[in-house]
Structure 1
């Protein structure tokens, strides 16, 4: 059984990755990391503040940031006075092809502007359009492949 110290250390590692990769406040990453491994769960705002040794305000702000991204949900059982915070798993998160399609279209529009320009001038936009079109095509396929692999487990 993992100790609370081990769980908080894990939350700190998640915070470091999320702060670097997603440019979010470290406390927001700590909250998410802890929610993945907390036991028992889901905790209240006050329980998170105590465990993570952070102010209630910092926890509320972090939870709101995670909520706005659809990464956590609040629940409240009948008779409870405090919300409980739970991490949400959305298997399709990160596999939305729409932003990549949009980026490919925008890059193609830029290429149309540069139709008579040099190859060197067009190269960056060509690669950008190509990569984004590729990702828009492949992400839904990858998600389906993962779903099939999960179904076999």
Structure 2
């Protein structure tokens, strides 16, 4: 049974996710999966708790599993899938996003090539994006290495060691097309 304050938390997460372009129900699912017990919930349990239709829960969980935030799991002997958020879900999602930095910089470079003979005012938006992505590409590996070191310290001192026990994330976020 969920308390009113727990559902309020799920709604606050939904508001945040809505500003990120997600439908509110996806944010509510994330909010609930961050705090629910047991940590794995079926679509039926999510629908009942959040007061949503099974269809909207199905759409939300598909979107969230594709994005890497939520993971679908099947228990042995059960037909229905349950959903959960692993402790390292955000790290994995961000690593994948960071890994696409080079790919997008290359797309922007192609745009700059296309506009090579155009006046500077026409190229300035692309140049600003290119500058940002070059900066991110150079700085993110060091930031990621510091994050991994922090997570490793948590694991060694008795905190949540899920990331460390799974080999952690790479010091350099994966580049687009990398295999895990």
Give the TM-score taking structure 1 as reference length: 0.84
- Indicate if the aligned counterparts of 2:68 and 2:92 stay in contact, CA closer than 8 A: no
- Indicate if the aligned counterparts of 1:92 and 1:143 stay in contact, CA closer than 8 A: no
Deviates more, 1:103-112 or 1:59-68: 103-112
1:61 matched to which residue of 2?
Answer: 59
Structure 1's consecutive aligned runs of 4 or more residues displaced over 4 angstroms after TM superposition are none
Output aligned runs, 1:4-153, within 5 Å. 4-21=3-20, 23-88=21-86, 89-90=88-89, 91-96=91-96, 97-153=98-154
Larger radius of gyration: 1
The separation in 2 between residues aligned to 1:141 and 1:71, in whole angstroms, is 23
* Helix, strand or coil at the partner of 2:22: coil
For each residue in 1:5-55, what CA deviation from the matched residue of structure 2 results, as whole angstroms up to 9, or x when unmatched?
Answer: 22211111111111111x121111111110000022212211111110111
* Helix, strand or coil at the partner of 2:92: coil
Structure 1 residues 75 and 102, CA gap change in structure 2 (3 angstroms): closer
Q: Give the superposed CA RMSD.
A: 2.0
Q: Where in structure 1 are there 5+ consecutive unaligned residues?
A: none
Deviates more, 1:56-65 or 1:116-125: 116-125
The separation in 2 between residues aligned to 1:118 and 1:16, in whole angstroms, is 42
Deviates more, 1:69-78 or 1:23-32: 69-78
The separation in 2 between residues aligned to 1:108 and 1:81, in whole angstroms, is 48
The number of residues matched between the two structures is: 150
Q: Where in structure 2 are there 5+ consecutive unaligned residues?
A: 155-180
The separation in 2 between residues aligned to 1:81 and 1:105, in whole angstroms, is 44
* Helix, strand or coil at the partner of 1:74: strand
The separation in 2 between residues aligned to 1:127 and 1:13, in whole angstroms, is 33
